[in-house]
Amino acid sequence: MFTIEHEFDATVITLVDDGETPLQEDVIVTAFAECVTVSQYDPRTDQVQTVTVSPAQLRDLGAALNLPEGAYKLRPEAGKG
């Protein structure tokens, strides 16, 4: 399950682990114009862990999930930078 909320300066996606146990904490993806953050509460340290990536890195990650092993460089889409 997931939710999507549009805020003033970001889009926030929350991924909820509603599957079989053991369940993981919610993952929160916050997309700003200049970066994307992925955060998750870590109960072992009682802290929220956050990773920040550029929009290009997020695009590459999405593409990589559907590709076989190897090294790749994506071409810019037609009509975009």
What is the per-residue pLDDT across 4-58, written as a single tens digit (0 to 9) for each? 999 999 999 999 999 888 889 999 999 999 999 999 999 999 999 999 999 999 9
Spatial separation of the C-alpha atoms in residues 58 and 75, rounded to whole Å: 14
What is the per-residue pLDDT across 62-73, written as a single tens digit (0 to 9) for each? 888 888 888 888
Burial class (CB in 10 A: 0-12, 13-18, 19+), 50: exposed
Name the phi and psi angles at 19, rounded to 5. Answer: -90, -155
